[in-house]
């Protein structure tokens, strides 16, 4: 079947799309436990980029699982497929010249490495939201930790499923120690350094 798939080469290139938008496409990948502040940071960063007239799109775990990946469970195999699909979507968005923000627990190093391979290492900024689990659990904004502790949710990261922290994230943020505004400033500096 795959031998019959022949990609078409279109005349408008990624560089032309990027030049039109006057920006460098990149993927900012927010990883960390549920409740760590990934989505809050990604949302605030997107607002800051939007105010700079940058063209962005934010992909978020629950939003993607409610649509594109609604047929996947939280088994290790389905978690891998979830991240693979997200990486492929992000890669298409990079080809469109966008700055993509992706907020996903993405607990396995191997899966995050797969994302880097798909989108290209030079296009990838890893933001490790390293908020202690005690803080994440005390927030429990969605009530998921309580359900996991009660045995109502299986394979919940940090409770009965592992989280493998990045070995060398580009940026590491503990949202219990730094404000959202200061965290966004740190990430913006990394972005600015990448486009020089």
The token pair that represents 150 in the structure block? 């009660």
- Check 36, 106, 176, 185 and give the catalytic one: 106
Residue from 169, 162, 173, 170 nearest 79 by CA: 162
The CA-atom distances, in angstroms, between 173 and each of 53, 132, 146 are 25, 11, 25
Q: In this structure, are strands 124-129 and 26-31 parallel, antiparallel, or unpaired? A: parallel
Whether 106 sits among the annotated catalytic residues: the reply is yes
CA distance 19 to 183: 28
Within 105-173, residue ranges assigned H as helices are 109-119, 133-139, 144-149
Query: Mind listing the pLDDT tens digit for each residue in 132-173?
Result: 999 999 998 888 999 999 989 988 998 988 999 999 999 999
pTM, two decimals, is: 0.92
For residues 30, 33, 39, 40, the Cα torsion angle rounded to the nearest 10 degrees is: -110
Query: Mind listing the pLDDT tens digit for each residue in 171-194?
Result: 999 999 999 999 999 999 999 998
Grade residue 1 by pLDDT with cuts at 50, 70 and 90.
low
Query: Mind listing the pLDDT tens digit for each residue in 113-130?
Result: 999 999 999 999 999 999
**71 contacts: CB under 8 Å, gap ≥ 6:** none
pLDDT > 70: percent of the chain: 98
CB 35 within 8 A of CB 158: no
Residue 103 CB neighbour total at 10 angstroms: 29
């Amino acid at each position: 079947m795959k031998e019959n798939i022949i990609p078409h080469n279109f005349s408008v290139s990624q560089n032309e799309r990027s030049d039109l938008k006057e920006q460098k496409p990149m993927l900012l990948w927010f990883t960390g436990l549920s409740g760590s502040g990934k989505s809050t940071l990604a949302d605030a960063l997107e607002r800051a980029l939007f105010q700079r007239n940058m063209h962005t799109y934010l992909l978020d775990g629950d939003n993607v699982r409610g649509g594109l990946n609604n047929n996947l469970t939280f088994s290790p195999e389905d978690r891998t497929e979830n991240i693979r699909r997200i990486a492929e979507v992000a890669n298409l968005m990079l080809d469109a010249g966008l700055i993509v923000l992706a907020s996903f627990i993405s607990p396995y190093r191997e899966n995050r490495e797969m994302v880097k391979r798909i989108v290209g290492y030079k296009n990838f900024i890893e933001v490790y939201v390293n908020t202690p689990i005690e803080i994440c659990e005390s927030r429990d904004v969605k009530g998921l930790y309580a359900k996991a502790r009660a045995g109502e949710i299986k394979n919940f990261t940090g409770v009965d499923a592992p989280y493998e922290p990045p070995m060398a994230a580009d940026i590491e943020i503990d949202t219990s120690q730094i404000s959202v505004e200061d965290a966004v400033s740190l990430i913006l500096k990394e972005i600015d350094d990448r486009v020089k």
